[in-house]
């Protein structure tokens, strides 16, 4: 297919817009958000903090011009500007609760911060088909995201064309031997924990490929490893289903999980030592920039 001169000009314009939005993501903003969120905030054990953090996240979305409302019994937060749900939307989500009595900087203040940075970068664009969701109760068996998928998507006639779930995306190590692989997973990875992992199943392999290609174009110094799960392997390895992407998979909605691989790299996983100063904000900035590029590229299709 030949691309007309006007089409080529439009593609250049889109690319320039994406580069500008990607460049706007600030490591200082990401650090500010991680530090603000990193207090114990389990839904039951730290309920007051849980709701305080929810209000802080809602305030950030509202500050960027998004309409925000609570969803369901577990206080998921939904933020959007786009109102025409007849066409598919790109959903970007991250859970904001932590395990009891832990600050949860990487798990998952890092994912929430990257989501908010993406919302900020996209706030200057009109009528983008993007929906942001801050899930609660991920640490209690994915209850919040399961409720969202089961009760909100159908009720609101929200057709999700793709969901990007940010789950621990702030810890990086350049030390050999810092990266391990889950037992039973038939893959080989670098033993240096400095890459972003993007996990997709059989209906989201194209999303994995797109993220890897866009990283080369817009964040070339971010190593990205794509893991594609075939033949229903996720049903046999529970480690592949431990975050809020799983309810989307269960409903046959294309979804990927973005992760620094959690306890297979980060020694502070689910510990009181999971604090803001342990994170790599240069790495987190690159991840946030990539999610901006993915969202805008998908919107321009």
248: closest CA among 115, 97, 23, 89? 89
pLDDT value at residue 9: 55
Nearest to 131 by CA among 186, 187, 69, 209: 69
Per residue in 125-166, pLDDT (tens digit) is 988 999 999 999 999 999 999 999 999 998 887 899 999 999
User: For the residues 265-269, what does the mean pLDDT come to?
Assistant: 98
Separation between Cα atoms, residue 162 and residue 89, nearest integer Å:
7
Please report the domains of the chain, with CATH numbers, ordered by start residue. Answer: 5-299 (3.40.630.10)
**The token pair that represents 106 in the structure block:** 């990487």
Compare 95 and 299 and report the one with higher pLDDT. 95
Could you tell me the pLDDT band of residue 77, with boundaries at 50, 70 and 90?
very high
What confidence score (pLDDT) does residue 2 get?
A: 30
Average pLDDT of the chain, as a whole number: 92
* pLDDT for res 172: 98
232-256 average pLDDT score: 89
pLDDT given at position 14? 64
CB contact at 8 A, 187 and 200? no
Tell whether the model's pLDDT for residue 7 goes beyond 60: no
The candidate with the shortest Cα–Cα distance to 162, out of 15, 297, 60, 17, is: 297
* pLDDT for res 199: 96
pLDDT value at residue 112 = 99
**Structure confidence by residue, pLDDT tens digits, 120-134:** 999 999 889 999 999
Q: How confident is the model at residue 275 (pLDDT cuts 50, 70, 90)?
A: very high
The 10s digit of each residue's pLDDT in 10-68 is 445 668 899 999 999 999 999 999 999 999 999 999 999 999 999 999 999 999 999 99
């Amino acid at each position: 297919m030949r691309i007309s001169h006007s089409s080529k000009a439009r593609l250049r314009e889109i690319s320039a817009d994406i580069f500008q939005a990607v460049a706007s993501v600030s490591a200082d903003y990401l650090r500010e958000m991680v530090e603000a969120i990193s207090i114990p905030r389990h839904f039951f054990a730290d309920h007051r903090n849980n709701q305080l953090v929810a209000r802080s996240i809602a305030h950030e979305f509202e500050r960027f011009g998004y309409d925000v409302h609570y969803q369901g019994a577990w206080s998921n937060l939904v933020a959007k500007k786009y109102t025409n749900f007849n066409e598919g939307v790109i959903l970007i989500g991250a859970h904001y609760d932590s395990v009891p009595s832990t600050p949860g900087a990487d798990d998952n203040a890092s994912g929430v911060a990257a989501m908010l940075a993406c919302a900020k970068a996209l706030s200057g664009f009109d009528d983008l088909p993007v929906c942001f969701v801050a899930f609660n109760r991920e640490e209690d068996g994915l209850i919040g995201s399961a409720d969202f998928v089961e009760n909100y998507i159908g009720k609101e006639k929200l057709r999700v064309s793709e969901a990007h779930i940010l789950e621990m995306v702030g810890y990086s190590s350049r030390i050999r031997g810092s990266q391990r692989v889950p037992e039973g997973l038939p893959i080989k990875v670098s033993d240096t924990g400095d890459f972003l992992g993007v996990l997709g199943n059989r209906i989201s392999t194209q999303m994995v490929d797109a993220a890897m290609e866009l990283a080369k174009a817009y964040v070339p110094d971010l190593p990205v490893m794509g893991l594609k799960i075939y033949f229903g392997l996720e049903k046999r390895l529970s480690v592949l289903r431990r975050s809020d992407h799983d309810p989307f998979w269960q409903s046959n909605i294309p979804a990927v999980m973005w992760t620094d691989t959690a306890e297979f790299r980060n020694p502070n996983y689910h510990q009181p030592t999971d604090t803001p100063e342990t994170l790599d904000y240069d790495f987190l900035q690159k991840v946030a920039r990539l999610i901006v590029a993915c969202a805008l590229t998908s919107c321009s299709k």
